[in-house]
């Protein structure tokens, strides 16, 4: 594989989809190069506008749930998705767009782009300090692009790769072994159905409890009215008011629980309905041993499963040992440390590069998208291995 060197600046693109499409094109220092918004704006128009100013390496949104247009822009341009862990707050947006005069759509796009850039500003500064004023300054943009798009590569390694590309030396690439298709088992399906049945039963129980409380409250109020008519005094009224407040609080608590369970129920129904040909992922908060034992009891992690882990850097060696031979692919969110990535028994993939349909315990991913992501990851690992082997030969 021969990496093509670039001679255009790199840009981060913030995107605010909707009836009116807002976008912002920024350089890697966060300076605004282009702001725009148009009703019914298309993906093609967005790509044309963005690539006029440079090569997009970051496609950013201000929403925790990545909009489809942002995902498509990332897929078409090869830019890395930048998705915040939660929707950006208004106060955060104001801070990120201070001093910029634009409409709301454009300001949202600027805040998304600047938030997406924050993660890489330290690395960009280090590259500038390392290469400016040297013979390798011409590789500044190439090195930055490689570091943004290929997590885990250091500056020296990225520089070696782009030097090699300049000399026309292809990067070694081995055949990729396809991911074996994982088809959810009947056990997975029936476990979901059983969970749904229990939720339905709990819903009915809560509903019945709510109705009983309503009847009890009505009875108390009627008794209170009778007591008032009989003239039993202020003491009875205070007691009645206290009981009413107590019952109202209990009803609010039950309503809150009921709504939460109804939402959970709806998510599970949606997950089951969309299962089809998609891959089923089992969710863990982290890879600590306590979390593994708790989730394994609920989800029954078995051979061939794919995991989605929120914090992969919180791990226990006992967990990794228990997963060895069962799980091969682990999707993670955020950054991943080198000691975790160095575990050769697992393939770690960045979940932000996939479209996921998420429930509380499970998520779904498109098989083709996951396979492409794994191929890309395999190529980077191949580059590392080729480099290590060449260094060993040079030192021999």
Residue 4: inside a domain:
no
Handedness of CA 257, 263, 266, 271 (dihedral sign): negative
Residue 186: inside a domain:
no
* Mean pLDDT calculated for residue range 204-230: 61
Q: How is residue 333 written in tokens?
A: 């969110």
Shared domain for 283 and 243, answered yes or no, is no
Shared domain for 290 and 248, answered yes or no, is no
**Among 241, 256, 273, residue at a domain's last position:** 273
Give the integer Cα–Cα distance in Å for 57 and 37: 21
Shared domain for 298 and 356, answered yes or no, is yes
**Among 254, 273, 292, residue at a domain's last position:** 273
Q: State the residue range of the domain holding 241.
A: 192-273
* Mean pLDDT calculated for residue range 369-376: 82
pLDDT > 70? residue 291? yes
Shared domain for 71 and 19, answered yes or no, is yes
User: Per-residue pLDDT tens for 231-257?
Assistant: 555 556 666 677 677 767 776 776 666
Shared domain for 267 and 347, answered yes or no, is no
Residue 177 pLDDT: 36
pLDDT > 50? residue 391? yes
Shared domain for 20 and 116, answered yes or no, is yes
Give the integer Cα–Cα distance in Å for 368 and 181: 10
Ranges 27-41, 188-202, 203-217, most confident: 27-41
Query: What is the pTM (predicted TM-score) of this model?
Result: 0.44
Shared domain for 35 and 95, answered yes or no, is yes
Residue 184: inside a domain:
no
Shared domain for 160 and 209, answered yes or no, is no
Shared domain for 229 and 334, answered yes or no, is no
User: Per-residue pLDDT tens for 172-187?
Assistant: 443 333 334 444 555 6
Shared domain for 206 and 349, answered yes or no, is no
**Among 248, 273, 298, residue at a domain's last position:** 273
Shared domain for 267 and 293, answered yes or no, is no
User: Per-residue pLDDT tens for 293-330?
Assistant: 888 887 888 888 899 998 888 888 899 888 988 888 99
Give the integer Cα–Cα distance in Å for 37 and 17: 10
Shared domain for 149 and 222, answered yes or no, is no
């Amino acid at each position: 594989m021969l990496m093509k060197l670039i001679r255009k600046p790199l840009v981060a693109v913030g995107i605010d989809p909707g009836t009116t499409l807002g976008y912002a094109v920024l350089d890697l220092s966060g300076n605004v190069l282009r702001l725009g918004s148009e009703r019914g704006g298309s993906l093609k128009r967005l790509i044309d506008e963005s690539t006029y100013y440079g090569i997009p390496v970051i496609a950013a949104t201000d929403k925790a749930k990545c909009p489809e247009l942002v995902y498509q822009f990332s897929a078409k341009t090869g830019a890395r998705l930048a998705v915040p862990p939660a929707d950006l707050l208004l106060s955060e947006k104001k801070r990120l767009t201070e001093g910029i005069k634009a409409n709301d759509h454009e300001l949202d796009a600027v805040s998304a782009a600047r938030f997406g850039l924050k993660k890489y500003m330290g690395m960009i500064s280090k590259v500038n300090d390392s290469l400016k004023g040297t013979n390798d300054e011409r590789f500044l943009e190439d090195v930055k692009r490689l570091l943004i798009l290929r997590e885990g590569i250091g500056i020296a390694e990225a520089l070696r790769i782009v030097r090699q590309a300049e000399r026309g030396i292809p990067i070694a690439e081995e055949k990729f072994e396809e991911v074996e298709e994982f088809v959810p088992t009947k056990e997975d399906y029936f476990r979901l159905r059983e969970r749904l049945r229990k939720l339905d039963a709990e819903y009915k129980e809560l509903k019945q409890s709510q109705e009983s409380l309503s009847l009890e409250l009505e009875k108390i109020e009627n008794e209170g009215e009778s007591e008032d008519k009989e003239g039993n005094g202020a003491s009875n009224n205070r007691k009645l008011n206290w009981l009413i407040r107590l019952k109202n609080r209990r009803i609010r608590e039950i309503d809150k629980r009921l709504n939460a369970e109804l939402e959970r129920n709806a998510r599970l129904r949606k997950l089951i309905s969309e299962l089809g040909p998609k891959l089923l992922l089992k969710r863990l908060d982290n890879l600590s041993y306590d979390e593994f034992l708790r989730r394994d009891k609920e989800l029954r992690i078995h051979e061939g499963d794919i995991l989605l882990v929120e914090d992969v850097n919180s791990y226990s060696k006992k967990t990794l040992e228990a997963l060895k031979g069962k799980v091969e692919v682990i999707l993670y969110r955020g950054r991943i440390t080198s000691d975790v990535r160095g575990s050769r028994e697992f393939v770690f993939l960045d979940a932000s590069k996939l479209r996921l349909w998420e429930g509380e315990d499970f998520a779904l991913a498109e098989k083709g998208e996951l396979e492409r992501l794994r191929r890309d990851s395999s190529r980077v690992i191949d580059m590392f291995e080729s480099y290590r082997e060449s260094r060993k030969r040079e030192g021999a």
